[in-house]
Structure 1
């Protein structure tokens, strides 16, 4: 079952009873501060246990054999390779493991690659730590979890249906597109949305990717041509 990652409207998956074995997690993250924050957050829950930490694809493959995790929580970008490309190698070593990819930013094409290579899902790093905890529990329980804005692309590809141009834009991305259509700059859009400039840039970049545009001006032109913008 493919589900979107938890939002404030979703009921999070309840933690297993204390009598059950904790979910064993191998964390693969090359930024120490990020790794420490994730470890502290996950290990607050008695049903989640960090059994190994790695900072590269090579060390992840070695540690996976040593600590036999239930879930591998893997950064997409690592010093010696692509975390998504490493999914197949991890599953060759541990066929029963579940690989959940963490990404600073994501696109539909990356999410589809995760699904096609046998990954259990992809969650964006800008989500809250409680949402990450819930995603780990869900993939350990056999579900497949993708951040909401990436889910349409994954479902479309897996069912053989390609979304129409702009159909997979999220409400926030449509808002960004409308602001671009008004001639707003990225800085002005970020201020209007009440988000950091880098977050605003990420929103704009996702709009461009989903419309197949190389510039903000081209994105607006495509949106008007396709009737997305009036």
Structure 2
């Protein structure tokens, strides 16, 4: 039997135009277990090029860049399969909602401790979202008001999954609670997104709230 291989580190492209900030963040992420920085970029154009080149798991993206607002680049950066975590100097429900609507997986304040950024990167790489509790509530409230209607009804197991997601459960926690594999949970989540016409777990929960699917 082959020996169990060590899980490879999550690959990160860091996008930050201030050298000192980029150096500090880059060093912190490199020293974190389970993370490796494969490239750095100073602009949206460089970020797109490096993401296409390296196909990272996560892009840590500064919001304010010389060639524009990073939030506007999330959709294109995500085409490689990367999940995007936005760095910003200020955070509000409105900004967080823009990130979520663009397909971003999280928002971290630059004033946060480096340990919090590391945790957010790992959380996003694992397929979860990384918005602070206060921001998450605001995002859901705003998305609920803009949500589209539902399509095909959810199965009982999909409904159970949705309720757990609404309670903040991670993929691993849903797996444990339902007694199924994480891949099965991911399949449930994808079908929920498809049926609700949602682009993210957050939007799915928002739609479900609006449509009365969550009691």
Call closer, same or farther: CA 1:160–1:18 in 2, change over 3 Å: farther
What's the Cα RMSD here?
1.8
By how many angstroms is 1:135 displaced?
Answer: 0.3
Aligned residues: 144
Structure 1: give runs of 5+ residues left out of the alignment: 1-16, 162-230
Structure 1 length-normalised TM: 0.60
Which position in structure 1 is the counterpart of 2:32? 45
Following TM superposition, where does structure 1 have runs of at least 4 consecutive aligned residues deviating by more than 4 angstroms?
A: none
8 Å contact kept, 1:114–1:120: yes
Q: Please give the per-residue CA displacement for 1:37-91, whole angstroms capped at 9, x wherever unaligned.
A: 0011111123100000000000000111111110000000000011001101112
Which position in structure 2 is the counterpart of 1:56? 43
CA distance in 2, matches of 1:91, 1:47: 21
Q: Please give the per-residue CA displacement for 1:127-176, whole angstroms capped at 9, x wherever unaligned.
A: 10001000000000010111233222111123338xxxxxxxxxxxxxxx
By how many angstroms is 1:106 displaced?
Answer: 1.4
Is it true that 1:25 corresponds to 2:12 in the alignment?
Answer: yes
Q: Please give the per-residue CA displacement for 1:68-126, whole angstroms capped at 9, x wherever unaligned.
A: 1100000000000110011011123x1x2100000011121110010001000111111
Structure 2: give runs of 5+ residues left out of the alignment: 147-215
Local SS of the residue matching 2:75: helix
Local SS of the residue matching 2:145: coil
Is it true that 1:87 corresponds to 2:74 in the alignment?
Answer: yes
Local SS of the residue matching 2:6: coil
Which position in structure 2 is the counterpart of 1:105? 90
Alignment of 1:171-182 (within 5 A): none
CA distance in 1, matches of 2:106, 2:5: 26
8 Å contact kept, 1:69–1:97: yes
CA distance in 2, matches of 1:73, 1:18: 27
Which position in structure 2 is the counterpart of 1:7? none
Which position in structure 1 is the counterpart of 2:138? 153
